[in-house]
Amino acid sequence: MTDAADLTAAELLEAYRAGTLSPVEAAEAVLARIDRDDRELNAFCLLDPETTLEMARASAGRWRRGETLGTLDGVPVSIKDVLLTRGWPTLRGSTTIDPAGPWTEDAPSVARLREQGAVFVGKTTTPEFAWKAVTDGPLTGVTRNPWDPSRTTGGSSGGAAAAVTAGMAPLALGTDGGGSVRIPAAFTGVFTIKPTYGRIPHYPASPFGTLAHTGPMTNTVADAELLLDAVCGADGRDWSSLPPPAAPFTDGGPHDLTGLRVAFSPDLGFARVDPEVAASVAAAAEAFTELGAKVEQADPGFADPVADFEVLWFAGAAKVVEHLTAEQRARLDPGLREICEQGARYSAVEYLTATARRMELGRIMGAFHDRYDLLLTPTMPIAAFEAGPEVPPGSPSPRWTSWTPFTYPFNMTQQPAASLPCGLTADGLPVGLQVVGARHADDLVMAACRAYEQARPWKRFSRR
């Protein structure tokens, strides 16, 4: 008999409708999975089983009465610990935030899920203030990859990725300012999309500015569609939030990609890619040809924008900690403290110069998408490395930006970018394919991902 913790959100909802499973049983199953596996993986930094079961019992009653609140009623979901959650502390992976709160407000995406009747399982781990692309920090320690617990999940939504992968909740909310949902999705073999900036409202505003997006993390494209439909749409607290999409993502589109103009860039013209990763991604690009798309190898035509991204990111980090005392700063993750000191030294002119180059990058990608509907790249140039360090062995740089060349450019341009699992290395570690669309073309990116997933079904993680 299938463990309810291994069911997708869509499968859970089907079982609820059929009366073969209740939200309480689903909640008990994921809590049991957490109890079994999370001591090793460290995906959650906050659990509140009493509240989780209370929400599940309320949902079960609504299903019995035929009075469900929304399309996610009764589905377990985890929330990254940078998103405000009423009644629970949001510590952002830091010892410098007072758990006492008060915690009286939900972030927009969290509020939408509560309105839908989703069941909150807990808060997932993040590096301190979500600053880096691996998940460890002074408050919560190291989060580990279910495929191989000696390896990193990536970050900064590493806890969310581990939770989805290991069956601790079928849905997760993460955030992405430079790759923070796509990096861990690639490393753990789950699906994610960083939607167009503003598609999912964000509040409070990120100190990292308009680089930061909220995104779903799931085992299937269909589950991501359910989650997107629940959390997209304007919120008055976010001045840059977009109106709801013209049609629900769950309405789907044609799975036939005939005539779609697709560019495949193995390295963006500047990145070094592990041969095993390159082979899996090239095979995935071939699948788009088989689905009817016109696939050409083409680079977008920009140089690595890492220096400009670091000005924006490090300055944002300096803003995050500007209110801290000297004693609190001494307790920060040492790497975070270093980039904050660097970010505080940038002048306004240097920041605005990086912003201008960011705008030029957006212009280049706008012109690129006049020629191509989608861009395919590796999500990551490498597979998951040892858990704990910020960079893999032999890295020429101490910073995470040195090994994430495919993700941060598309935070700078605010484009939708998804990551799909597309293979395994010889060591049995997942490889991710990144699918990038023009700004506001979230529906096209999701349709393409749906088509690929159907053509190349992914064998999900199961505990060995």
Does a structural domain hold residue 168? yes
Mean pLDDT of 147-158: 98
CA distance 56 to 133: 33
Cα–Cα distances in angstroms (integers) from residue 90 to residues 178, 273, 296, in the given order: 21, 36, 45
Residue 99 makes CB contacts below 8 A (sequence gap 6+) with: 89, 91
Residue with tokens 């390896």: 151
Residue with tokens 């597979």: 383
pLDDT at residue number 256: 81
Does a structural domain hold residue 148? yes
User: Does the pLDDT of residue 444 top 90, yes or no?
Assistant: yes
pLDDT digits (tens, 9 = 90+) for 184-226: 999 999 999 999 999 999 999 999 999 999 999 999 999 999 9
pLDDT digits (tens, 9 = 90+) for 90-143: 999 999 999 999 999 999 999 999 999 999 999 999 999 999 999 999 999 999
Which residues are annotated as catalytic? Answer: 80, 156, 180
User: Does the pLDDT of residue 464 top 60, yes or no?
Assistant: no
Q: Which two tokens stand for residue 441?
A: 């073309």
Mean pLDDT of 255-266: 93
Amino acid at 443: D
Confidence of residue 1 (pLDDT cuts 50, 70, 90): low
Does a structural domain hold residue 14? yes
Long-range contacts of 35-38 (CB under 8 A, 24+ apart): 37/146, 37/166, 37/168, 37/463, 38/166, 38/168
Q: What is the CATH number of the domain that holds 202?
A: 3.90.1300.10
Q: Which domain holds residue 138?
A: 4-455
pLDDT digits (tens, 9 = 90+) for 11-29: 999 999 999 999 999 999 9
pLDDT at residue number 328: 97
Question: For residues 10 and 220, is the Cβ–Cβ distance under 8 A?
Answer: yes
Does a structural domain hold residue 460? no
Q: For the chain, what percent of residues have pLDDT higher than 90?
A: 97
User: Does the pLDDT of residue 77 top 80, yes or no?
Assistant: yes
pLDDT at residue number 258: 95
For strands 76-80 and 119-124, give the pairing: parallel
CA distance 152 to 136: 9
Q: Burial-class residue 278 by CB neighbours within 10 Å (0-12, 13-18, 19+).
A: middle
Q: Which two tokens stand for residue 442?
A: 């979230």
Question: For residues 306 and 193, is the Cβ–Cβ distance under 8 A?
Answer: no
Residue 330 makes CB contacts below 8 A (sequence gap 6+) with: none
pLDDT at residue number 24: 98
Amino acid at 124: T
Residue 111 makes CB contacts below 8 A (sequence gap 6+) with: none
- Residue 280 burial (CB count, 10 A): 22
- Residue 324 burial (CB count, 10 A): 15
Does a structural domain hold residue 461? no
Question: For residues 392 and 403, is the Cβ–Cβ distance under 8 A?
Answer: yes
Is this prediction's pTM over 0.75? yes
Does a structural domain hold residue 336? yes
Does a structural domain hold residue 464? no
Question: For residues 88 and 121, is the Cβ–Cβ distance under 8 A?
Answer: no
Query: Nearest CA to 411 among 216, 206, 224, 213?
Result: 213
Q: Which two tokens stand for residue 411?
A: 């935070």
Query: Nearest CA to 460 among 271, 175, 190, 215?
Result: 190
Helix (H) or strand (E) holding 163: helix 158-165
pLDDT digits (tens, 9 = 90+) for 26-51: 999 999 999 999 999 999 999 999 99
Phi and psi for 175 in degrees, rounded to 5? -130, 160
Counting the structural domains of the chain, the total is 1
Does a structural domain hold residue 432? yes
- In the 8-state DSSP scheme, what is residue 201? -
CA distance 169 to 7: 9
Question: For residues 164 and 170, is the Cβ–Cβ distance under 8 A?
Answer: yes
